[in-house]
Structure 1
Amino acid sequence: MKKVTYLIAILAITYGCSSFSSFKTHPVQKKENILLTKDSVEYELLIIDSGFESWFAARNTIATVHSDIYYQNWNRIYVVEWNQLYMQGRPFIENYIEYDPAENYGLEINYKLYYYFQFVEEKNRISIINR
């Protein structure tokens, strides 16, 4: 009787361990992981200067008049000059702009930022860059 009890116990343990190990060995498919962890980055341009939105709406042209590269190139120049004026403590330049030329901000952001610089130049009658 003891032998039968030991045999049943050993079989139960073996069966329990084998079903547990087969449960552990099911791999998670990589395709599912990629879909779950895929992340997109969205940027938002926050302009707190009063009057810009109405000015922008009145002068708003089609963004695709120029390419995204066109706006990126101008924004690089404007941001460098803007930040230098900010560091010098110039009036009308009240904040530092964090703009990474290596980032792809998209046409909409680059377009609106470019026109913000135009707005500041027109509103304050200053020239941020010499053209």
Structure 2
Amino acid sequence: MAFAFNKNTLIAMKNTLYISMLILGVILISCTAQKTSITKTQNQNLSSNDTIRIANDSLEYEVIIIDPGFNIWLASRAHPRWYYTQEYLENKNQIYVNEWNNRVLQPQRYNPNLYEMTINYDSNIDYGYEVNYLIYNYMVYFQNNYNQRLFGRVPLR
């Protein structure tokens, strides 16, 4: 049995794999990071709301962010959608992802429990506003929540 894939399909499959790996990393980070205790009722209310999923079948990618507290942070502390331009978000994401990937490659210097795998973010692909908005805000949330600085001044929200 033989399979034939064109270049775009292979790139899309590769992007899907890397984004899935990012998601797995976020899950592992959230499992290993120290958390503050919350009551059982609060935990039940939050548990159904800690997953954010975005999919684009035409580009064959999917982004899932699972990190307890991120959805509430996004709704209550992040700037509203369309506050930033897509170009701004893309530029910041490229900088943050580059630094993230540099830290993954230096586990002796940076906590390997926080930076477990690289992120394949291609600045030549138009992921759209929503994906860039969520990645940017997750990076801000990550930096504030885990006391990390990927690049420059991080908005405190």
> Normalised by the size of structure 1, how large is the TM-score?
0.64
Structure with the larger strand share? 2
The residue type paired with residue 116 of structure 2 is E
Q: Determine the structure 2 residue equivalent to 1:61.
A: 79
Structure 2 residue aligned with 1:119 = 141
Q: Which has the larger radius of gyration?
A: 1
Q: 2:59 aligns with which of 41, 44, 47?
A: 41
Query: Which residue of 36, 47, 51 corresponds with 2:69?
Result: 51
Correspondence for 1:98 among 94, 103, 120? 120
Identity value in percent: 38
1:43–1:109 contact (8 Å) kept in structure 2: no
| Alpha-carbon distance between aligned partners in 1 of 2:105 and 2:71, rounded to the nearest angstrom | 26
2:93 paired residue number: 75
> Which structure shows the higher helix fraction?
1
Ranges in structure 1 where 5+ consecutive residues have no aligned partner: 1-38
Give the superposition deviation at 1:75: 0.4
Aligned residue pairs total 93
Aligned to 2:7: none
- Supply the RMSD in Å over aligned alpha carbons: 1.7
| SS of alignment partner, residue 65 of structure 1 | coil
User: What does residue 4 of structure 1 align with?
Assistant: none
- Contact 1:86 / 1:96 at 8 angstroms: preserved in 2? yes
Q: Which residues of structure 2 form unaligned runs of 5+?
A: 1-56
Change (3 A) 1:82 1:112: same
Partner-residue secondary structure (3-state), 2:79 = coil
